[in-house]
Structure 1
Amino acid sequence: MDDEKKSTPSIYSANRPDSAVAGDLQRGLSGRHLNFIAIGGTIGTGFFIGSGVALNKAGPVGCLLSYLFVGTILYSVMVSLGEMATFIPTAGAFSAYATRFVDSSLGFAVGWLYWFSWAMTYALSLTAAGLIVQYWDPSINIGILIAVFWVVFTAVNFLPVHIYGELEMWLSMLKVITIVGFIIFGICVAGGVGDEGRLGFTYWVNPGPFSEYIVEGAVGKFVGFWAVLIQASFAYQGAELVGVGAGEARDPRKTVPRAIKTTFWGILFLFCATIFIMGMIVRSDDGALLTEKSDASASPLVIAATRAGVDVLAHIINAVLLTAVLSAANSNVYSGSRILVALADEGQAPAIFKRTTKHGIPYMAVACTAAFGLLGFLNLSSEGGRVFNWFMNISGVAGLLTWAGTCLSFVGFRRAMEAQEIPRSELPYISPWQPWLAIYGLFFCLLVALTQGFTAFMPWNTADFFAAYISLIIFVVLYLGHKIWFRDAFVDPRTADLARGRYYEAHEKQPLPPASPLVSDGEEERRERL
């Protein structure tokens, strides 16, 4: 156990911007790296293609309102995360904060479910990349493409973190440029540049601002709004990756708050502006929106370009889709591996995952996470594909539960600050309207997570029910299993750990390390066993 502790990030090495100690995560990510890691993990095929399905379900105005409303939920999560991540910047922050400020069982359940969701998403991203390449040449074997992409992006995650950050920045920048280009293109089309003439807000009038979904009338319009609310929640997930990278950010007191603000407003603008323009130039009842394809032909951006007579745009969008999923695959391995490091650091995963190279790369955590990408080969058979789809249903709700856990952790963090009489003036960043904003986010994250499978009840479908709620079932099993096995009490705010991993400026006096972590006897015994 003593040997493993040498691999643990500490306030004496990893907290310094110039850390280069072998065995520690190193602070090699700048603010721009954090921004683009979050953007890269958020903007993927789910937005480029899934937004068309959202437009069909809710209509142009209903779809826009759904994305705006979820944006307020995301804001509550991001500012809550920002306050904690600047005070105690640690890799894989979500599970660590839940363990320290609320309950070790909550940290265990949130951490492992979140890790599994990113590991499975890596397999999905590799598969999606293969399908996108087949748009140009259907004869290419998708298994070969999955293998090639797996080797390349697994290798990238073994490189020093600043190299990973640079690559992610350039891949994500292509997506941002494409979205901005589409917004400009859409404004021109709405103004009359295209085969269909001037459109303006024609489609807001016919077929209408709101669409009916499943049922008719006003209830059907609300159901459409709520269905897109769930879809928008999934689309925004990935923005919280700023918190994952906080443990490797240079000068987190300055870079993390700036990155969180820039990431939130950037993603909100890109998403909502695109949805707004899309509703102006694509009919919500256009049959092309309902295709099950995963390449450019299913994107509402391409549908709009085709209607306007610009066919070549389909190939450009398909190329951008390829960079989008590869960027997402890059982020999947990074975020999943850092969550494993956080779990190991809290004694909730084998200590071997804390081992790092001399460049600060947690190679065991990266290897374990990347190995799940090989599950993408399940899609080569019909039976395996069904199993794979069940696994992938976990990722969406796992993100919502992580958001909820972050808000709840913030409430526990504030209680601990008050109980230990630490003034708020010591916080590098103070989030607004707290703790009410965190409570608002907690309530709606749980509400959306509990209702996201409502279509299984209209009418009742057993298979759809389990597909929609399997992640919640896994979360409950993980939580109750950990609680029954270890019987750890909820964290007492008076003894919550507010010291370990705290970042100090170079001119500040750093406290001596505590003789032992502020954890319960059961927690200490579990760490020894691991």
Structure 2
Amino acid sequence: MKPDEIWPAHPADFSSSGEEVGVVRETGIFGAGDEKGAKKGDGVASDADSAHAGELQRQLSGRHLNFIAIGGTIGTGFFLGTGTALVKAGPAGCLISYIFVGSILWSVMVCLGEMATYIPTAGAFSAYATRFVDDSLGFAVGWLYWFSWAITYALSLVAAGLIIQYWKEDVNLGIVIAVFWVVFTLVNYLPVGIYGELEMWLSSLKVITIVGFIIFAICIAAGVGDEGTLGFKYWHNPGAFNEYLVSGGVGQFVGFWAVLIQASVAYQGAELVGVGAGEARDPRKTVPQAIRVTFWGIMALFVVTMFLITMIVPSDDPNLLSDSSNASASPLVIAAHRAGVKVLPDIINAVLLTAVLSAANSNVYSGSRVLVALAEEGQAPAIFKRTNRWGIPVYSVAGTAVIGLFGFLNLSSSGGKVFNWLLNISGVAGLTNWAGTCLSHLFFMRALKAQGISRDQLPYKSRFQPYTAYYGLIMNVLVTLTQGFTVFINWSTSDFFAAYVSLILFVVLWAGHKAWYRQPMVDPAKADLVRGRYDSCGERSAVDGGV
């Protein structure tokens, strides 16, 4: 059987019955080629066709988009990772790192906002890179980003089991993974409106907990706890900046940069607003609002919480170095113990469980929509763009969820090592995606100019462009290249490959696709600015079938 018979060249090349509709392409496996014929009719898909051609239903409101992004961002890395960050950089260095990464996130979000409101499509990142920059770039970014969310699903399932072991140490980890895998895989087969409501309530619990902790921390800092009034006591002793790996001012900078990388991973997930844009109601209105609320909401929660943690927990507290995966390693719990509050650990552990389950829910959703986008651009099997009558991409959900079964590798020590290597791919994949988003925006603006379209016509127009996009691109590339810098201080070959395996994989995907298809970069005058675009009345563009 020919590759083209398995992997159709383009979403519009086949009708719902599987027959070609008058488009002939010169393609390889993934179908990136030139059209040799006309599309069926004028390209308007019928309702019957759309149910099988990858058209998702627009049932997500702005609040759904907000909480999907929040659910994917605030996880165990936020509740537990802030402790190790405080040890590495000290209170001032840690806080500056989180604020600095917030500025990078802002650049990514505003770039995404302009593109996602003009062309709202599911799994937008790979689609924008493919349409505006380079087909091979979209292929590499998309597949790496998909795998990062799919393998993070496995991590969330494992984390849920470890957190439950806080209450019952002899609980079988395999059973927990299996039960939650079935539950959250099935949840993602619900109509997207129901999924959005469920995710909103799961994420709300995390937000309420963080707000509660903020109030609690303010009271502790003001003197309610056993240690009396704290204020900025721990900024003076043990100090505002910590040395990390090397001594002196260089060591303080190394600590700052190490936390910068850690914060970059912690913030990842905020961009999921763009993943849900293809299923948003009235995206010209809801997407910009969701981007603003999501960014400022996450930024405020992260920075304020980090600031208060630096006030009530000293950076030399030995409990911060715990490698536990449950509530005992959380700075929130350490702060409660130091203040003499005994009931908080169980509450925080319950919230941690909610956090990872919410993240698991978002992981499958996000990964499946990225897979849909890849299929829409002809870079994944066409079966992944098929939907049922409720607009659920059933095969994409299944393809993403099955990677969650890698969580069972943790049942053996040798399998756990393999699993950790797979997880190393997910950390840098998000940074690669952020850089790709900023680069796509620069080429998006170039295409607008080449085709005579003013940026004033964009539904959402951000300030300081293109400088914002350049800033985000440069900083994301810099962080990506330096995220494993500690291996060069204390050299370890295995640690080097563990740190840079995702970057190596990205280069292999890009170079392999480029070598196979030998396609040039996208001509800005011919870039696709039509498919999936919403007109001024909020109607989906009929060209090429819409989303």
Question: d(CA) in 1 for partners of 2:110 and 2:43?
Answer: 24
Query: What SS does the corresponding residue of 2:489 show, helix, strand or coil?
Result: coil
Residue pairs, 1:354-433, within 5 angstroms? 354-433=385-464
For residues 270-281 of structure 1, the aligned pairs below 5 Å read 270-281=301-312
Write out per-residue CA displacement over residues 248-305 of structure 1, whole angstroms, 9 at most, x where no aligned residue: 0000000000000000000000000000000000000111001110000000000000
Residue correspondence of structure 1 range 24-103 to structure 2 within 5 A: 24-103=55-134
Q: 2:209 aligns with which of 165, 178, 185?
A: 178
Alignment CA distance shift 1:504-1:125 (3 Å):
same
Aligned counterparts of 1:512 and 1:476: Cα–Cα separation in 2: 36
Amino acid across the alignment from 1:473 = I
SS at the partner of 2:543? coil
Deviation sequence 1:187-224 (CA, Å, 0-9, x none): 10011111111111100000000011001111110000
- Residues 24-83 of structure 1 show CA distances to partners (whole Å, capped at 9, x for unaligned) of 200010000000000000000001000000011001110000000000000000000000
Q: Does 1:323 align with 2:354?
A: yes
2:531·2:541 contact (CA, 8 Å) conserved in 1? no
Instruction: Indicate if the aligned counterparts of 2:376 and 2:382 stay in contact, CA closer than 8 A.
Output: yes
Whether the aligned pair in 2 keeps the contact of 1:11 and 1:502 (CA below 8 Å) is no
> Which is further off, 457-466 or 402-411?
457-466
In structure 2, the partner of 1:119 is 150
Does residue 1:456 correspond to 2:456, yes or no? no
**Partner residue of 1:311 out of 342, 347, 350:** 342
Q: How far, CA to CA, are the matches of 1:498 and 1:336 in structure 2?
A: 24
Deviates more, 1:454-463 or 1:220-229: 454-463
Q: Which residue of 1 aligns with 2:229?
A: 198
TM-score by length of 1: 0.94
User: Is the alpha carbon distance of 1:142 and 1:429 closer, same or farther for their aligned partners in structure 2, counting shifts above 3 Å?
Assistant: same
Deviation (angstroms), 1:425: 2.4
Counterpart for residue 32 of structure 2: none
Measured after TM superposition, the shift of residue 130 of structure 1 is 0.4
1:22 to 2:22 alignment: no
Distance verdict in 2 for CA 1:13–1:72, change over 3 Å: farther
Amino acid at match of 2:496: F
Give the secondary-structure state (helix, strand or coil) at the position aligned to 1:27. coil
Which digits, 9 at most, give the CA deviation of each residue in 1:112-149, with x for residues without a partner?
A: 00001111000000000000001000011011100000
- Distance in structure 2 (CA, Å) of the matches to 1:337 and 1:449: 25
Q: Name the structure 2 match of 1:243.
A: 274
CA contact (8 A) 1:87 1:503 kept: yes
1:513 partnered with 2:515:
no
1:408 to partner: Cα distance = 0.2
Residue 420 of structure 1, CA deviation: 0.1
CA offset at residue 515 of structure 1?
Answer: 11
Alpha-carbon distance between aligned partners in 1 of 2:14 and 2:74, rounded to the nearest angstrom:
37
1:4–1:161 Cα change, 3 Å: farther
Check whether the contact 1:11–1:503 (CA below 8 A) recurs between aligned residues: no
Tell me how far apart the structure 1 counterparts of residues 217 and 449 of structure 2 sit (CA, whole Å): 51
Sequence identity, in percent?
71
Per-residue deviation, 1:12: 5.6
Give me the TM-score of the superposition, normalised by structure 2: 0.91
Q: CA deviation at 1:231?
A: 0.2
> Is 1:141 paired with 2:172?
yes
Taking a change above 3 Å as real, the CA distance of residues 4 and 162 of structure 1, as seen in their structure-2 partners, is: farther
Residues 1:492 and 2:508 aligned together: no
Which runs of structure 1 show a deviation greater than 2 angstroms over 4 or more consecutive aligned residues? 1-8, 10-14, 19-24, 504-508, 510-517
User: Following the alignment from structure 1 to structure 2, what is the Cα–Cα distance between the partners of residues 77 and 515?
Assistant: 28
Pairwise CA RMSD of aligned residues? 2.1
1:458 Cα deviation after fit: 1.1
Unaligned runs of 5+ in 2: 1-7, 19-41
Q: Distance in 2 between matches of 1:277 and 1:437?
A: 30
**SS in structure 2 at match of 1:197:** coil
| Pairing partner for 1:217 from 223, 248, 258 | 248
Aligned counterpart in structure 1 of residue 265 of structure 2, from 227, 231, 234: 234
The answer on 1:447 being equivalent to 2:470 is: no
The answer (yes or no) to whether the contact 1:92–1:245 under 8 Å persists in 2 is yes
Q: Deviations over 1:140-185 (max 9, x none)?
A: 1011100000000000000000111001000000000111111110
2:365 paired with 1:334: yes
Aligned length, in residue pairs: 512
Q: Which SS does the other structure have where 1:457 is aligned?
A: helix
Unpaired runs of 5+ residues, structure 1, are: 518-530
